[in-house]
Chain A
């Protein structure tokens, strides 16, 4: 369980998060939605200890993120950042292999190598495995980064806009993979999503944020109402029911 208590964050006196309280139990997919600048990415990077906490506390399975050894956390929690910049020149296989680093500390065993191969297959990257990351298209690079995050094999996955640059086929495939690990392996995914219909179709819970606050929180059917969406996004969105799921006509 990830417990976020009274977390606020400001950057040069500009408030980014204001008193967030959230409890995310183990298992299932939680989608964070909201307009640009709502604080979704900041919240994820605080949970993943990429930024120091200013106020409040965050714990993962009872371990406070600011004092627990980084390696222990890396075995429980993996994060995919929005700006997937890779500083060094690596092949796809090498990059995905780094996902196993928290477990083997530089000496990969047979299990680690097998998991890397499985991730290559799962994300359609086997044919690209010896290509250098800087020669890939944006979508292919995004898939390699997602594969690396999956490969870390953690109970909690924090994904910041994982569908960036992905085509429809691979976006659907990624969401289905997440659904599968949530259902079969009881792993937990927390995803920042801009495509709200993906959230409606795959998430168990939607947390809608605006201006550093949680506006609504609950199962998709309860959150995705015209009133709530107007409060979050600032305009009226028509919502239809298609195949038993709410479908937002957000582009009209």
Chain B
């Protein structure tokens, strides 16, 4: 049954991709297709990395409501952007070498994630305590960012605004290839670990009893999560609720938590929502709204529904 549902999701995802590529095609067709293809590649990559990273994060933390952004990763990203603009000025920031900046962003975000996780793994710190640390760090970075933003001149502030919201129209297509390689490598690791992930989902003690080296596995998986989040954030900016939305949807469609099914299902839902949503907004609604806002709105609602459902149980 799960296989048939997976096939349905695959069809939906393919339809959205076709719609995105072919809707309202006119003018120099080769040029338009090339442009859209590049954009599609970036969108696919964002869908892949956010879906997979959210599933992994929820499995390791044994919590179906958390997403990596709760660890303060996106807040750090926005803070980093603001700090760069503050130090270099709006023009200096705009003239930075894209590849170099991308690399630095990823290294920084992975370093933060590991700095957060290392104490937990060494001291066997409670997962709840660690998440609290993540939330607190998120507030710290947001406050620092707000402080810097107050001291910026209006032009530079506009540059920061552009960089700190998810934007699916102004994708960083120049970084797509580098990002795609990193994403694919990380996702390949996750796919190889899919059976081990099922065991990890049983919880720390049960997984250890079944021969999984917990500390090593958790560290490796969280490293993968931070790389995936870093890549997608660097490409489109922070999206808080997107991962939550697609994983919750996927789980309800395939009705299983086996990773061999859940991982592809989440990726396919993410592709449908992201690529399909972008195409509908562009072609059917004439760009009336930005996809980032719509996704955050719907995702926020799903978050609230999950909370209420959890409270009732």
Contacts and interface: CB of A to CB of B under 8 A. Distances in A.
Q: Do A and B bind each other?
A: yes
Interface of A: 45, 48-50, 52, 69-75, 78-79, 81, 85-90, 94, 98-99, 101-102, 105-107, 152
8 closest A-B pairs by beta carbon, nearest first, are A106-B195, A74-B211, A71-B211, A102-B211, A88-B201, A87-B203, A87-B62, A70-B213
A48 B211 contact: no
B142 interface: no
B203 A98 contact: no
A87 B202 contact: yes
Contact of A73 (B198, B206, B211, B257): B211
B198 A86 contact: no
A70 B208 contact: yes
Contacts of A79: 205, 209
A79 B194 CA distance: 23
Name the prevailing secondary structure of the A interface residues. Answer: loop
A105 B195 contact: yes
B195 A70 contact: no
Contacts of B5: none
Interface in B202-237: 202-206, 208-213
Contact of A81 (B124, B205, B211, B213): B205
A98 B205 CA distance: 13
B199 interface: yes
Interface of B: 62, 124, 194-196, 198-199, 201-206, 208-213, 257-258
B202 A74 contact: no
A105 B193 CA distance: 10
B201 A87 contact: yes
Contact of A74 (B205, B210, B257): B210
Contacts of B209: 48, 50, 74, 78-79, 81
10 contacts: A50-B204, A70-B208, A70-B213, A71-B211, A81-B205, A86-B203, A86-B206, A87-B201, A88-B257, A152-B210
B196 A50 contact: no
A134 B201 CA distance: 15
A106 B194 contact: yes
B154 to A, nearest CB: 50
B201 A106 contact: no
B175 to A, nearest CB: 35
| Residue picked from B206, B209, B211, most chain A C-beta under 10 Å | B209
B199 A101 contact: yes
Contacts of B212: 70-71
A69 B208 CA distance: 11
